[in-house]
Amino acid sequence: MVKKLTAIILILFFVLFFASPAQAWSPRLERADYIISSSFSEIESLQLKLNISFDAFNELDTLFHYDGQNFNLQGTWLLNFWQRQDLTTQLRLSAATDFQEPALAPSLGLGGEFSLGERSYLLYSLDFFLLEASSRLVYRGGFGIPLAGNSGFTLTVGNSYWNRTSPNFALGIRVQF
């Protein structure tokens, strides 16, 4: 089952990757999020999330996660299938890893942003990890507040692949490039 699922995800990725002309794939670093995630009593993790845009439909999020003891990594391929002036919805194909374990954890989800005016926005994501035995859902929701022309604060609530048991609060700084 695991081998078939991994093969299907890889085939889908390669078909969509090679179906576009080479000129369309010009990667650009769109934004970076620096995030501190905590419970009420202590800091749980430090995170760096980089968003790379290839074209109007394909993006890649990379999340570097440090919990005080371990470095972890999550990659998410974002397919923008619903784009309007005030709403973006994306299909999320993710793979997370814990460097202490040799396996990848694939997931499928939805996410996006909803504009609340000039530059404020709501953000959301919901991922379902396919091969986990329990607590398969990873969710995040929050809002962004503008700070300057190309930066702002994000305030979110949710969990992560590495801590799915309880929600955490996260304060982040988003910088657009």
What's the pLDDT at 101?
72
Q: Binning pLDDT at 50, 70 and 90, where does residue 13 land?
A: low
pLDDT digits 0-9 by tens, 88-118: 999 999 999 877 777 788 899 999 999 998 7
What's the pLDDT at 143?
96
What's the pLDDT at 32?
97
Q: Binning pLDDT at 50, 70 and 90, where does residue 81 land?
A: confident
Give the count of beta carbons closer than 10 Å to the beta carbon of residue 144: 21
Determine which of 58-62, 64-68, 85-89, 168-172 has the lowest per-residue pLDDT on average.
85-89
Q: Which domains does the chain have, with CATH numbers?
A: 26-176 (2.40.160.40)
Q: What is the value of pTM for the model shown?
A: 0.84
Cα–Cα nearest to 61, from 72, 48, 71: 48
What's the pLDDT at 134?
78
